[in-house]
């Protein structure tokens, strides 16, 4: 999703709808962008938190399993190549295939719950790290990618996207 300009209009519109729905469930675009800014400022990466939660001024993100730093490092490396080949998994004969497959097996069952602090702001939402297309094709969930890895400018582009006629 981070290469938003290279996507076709249908994919752009789908990502726009998905991110807009998530932003509205958190209290609006402003609160959603505050979440992203808080995540970008946090070092080390919030996903490696030992208590499996990340709190920010307007809410929190919870997940149900500790994620180790080596998994995040590998994910950062392979997500760049995903846009080129349309698949997070490398070819089966690639030397990194087994590591990436283990990464997917580790992170796939984890559910991420994003909840606003004030219940009046919305119900929050849940997401997973990956979208499994078939046994050989796995993609990073665009919402997960946008929240934890894409630049804030790219997410703003997605949120402000309008269909061209």
3-state SS of the chain is CCCHHHCCHHHHHHHHHHHHHHHHHCCCHHHHHHHHHHHHHCCCCHHHCCCCEEEECCEEEEECCCCCHHHHHHHHHHHHHHHHHCCCCCCCCCCCHHHHHHHHHHHCCCEEEEEECCHHHCCCEEEECEEEEECCEEEECHHHHHHHCCCHHHHHHHHCCCCCC
* CB of 154 closer than 8 Å to CB of 148: no
Which residues, at least 6 apart from 54, have a Cβ–Cβ distance to it below 8 Å? 38, 39, 42, 46, 47, 60, 61
Please tell me the predicted confidence (pLDDT) of residue 68: 92
Phi, psi for residue 90 in degrees, rounded to 5:
-75, 175
How much is the mean pLDDT over the chain?
88
Parallel/antiparallel/unpaired status of strands 53-56 and 130-134: unpaired
% of the chain at pLDDT higher than 70: 98
Instruction: Kindly state the average pLDDT of the residues 77-106.
Output: 87
More confident residue, 85 or 156: 156
Q: Is the pLDDT of residue 4 over 70?
A: yes
In a domain, 1, yes or no: no
Instruction: Kindly state the average pLDDT of the residues 57-83.
Output: 90
Q: Is the pLDDT of residue 111 over 90?
A: yes
Structurally, how many domains does the chain consist of? 1
Judged on CB neighbours under 10 Å (0-12, 13-18, 19+), 157 is: middle
Instruction: Kindly state the average pLDDT of the residues 37-41.
Output: 93
Instruction: Kindly state the average pLDDT of the residues 159-165.
Output: 78
In a domain, 65, yes or no: yes
Q: Is the pLDDT of residue 63 over 80?
A: yes
In a domain, 42, yes or no: yes
In a domain, 16, yes or no: yes
Determine the longest span between alpha carbons in the chain, in angstroms.
51
In a domain, 110, yes or no: yes
In a domain, 165, yes or no: no
Q: Is the pLDDT of residue 114 over 80?
A: yes
Is the previous residue joined to 15 through a cis bond, with omega within 30 degrees of 0?
no
More confident residue, 7 or 71: 71
Q: Is the pLDDT of residue 6 over 80?
A: no
Please tell me the predicted confidence (pLDDT) of residue 1: 58
Residue-range definition of the domain harbouring residue 55: 9-152
In a domain, 164, yes or no: no
Alpha-carbon distance of 73 to 102, in angstroms, equals 13
In a domain, 162, yes or no: no
Please tell me the predicted confidence (pLDDT) of residue 165: 61
């Amino acid at each position: 999703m981070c290469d938003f300009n290279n996507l076709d209009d249908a994919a752009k519109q789908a990502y726009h709808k998905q991110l807009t729905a998530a932003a509205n469930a958190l209290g609006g675009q402003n609160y959603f962008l505050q979440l992203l800014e808080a995540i970008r400022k946090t070092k080390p990466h919030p996903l490696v938190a030992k208590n499996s939660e990340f709190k920010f001024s307007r809410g929190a993100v919870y997940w149900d399993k500790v994620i180790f730093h080596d998994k995040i490092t590998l994910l950062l490396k392979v997500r760049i190549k995903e846009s080129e080949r349309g698949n997070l998994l490398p070819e089966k004969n690639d030397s990194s295939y087994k590591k990436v497959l283990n990464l997917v097996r580790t992170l796939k069952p984890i559910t991420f719950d994003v909840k606003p602090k004030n219940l009046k702001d919305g119900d929050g939402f849940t997401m997973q790290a990956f979208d499994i297309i078939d046994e050989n094709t796995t993609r990073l969930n665009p919402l997960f990618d946008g929240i934890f890895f894409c630049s804030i400018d790219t997410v703003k582009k997605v949120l402000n996207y309008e269909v061209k006629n």
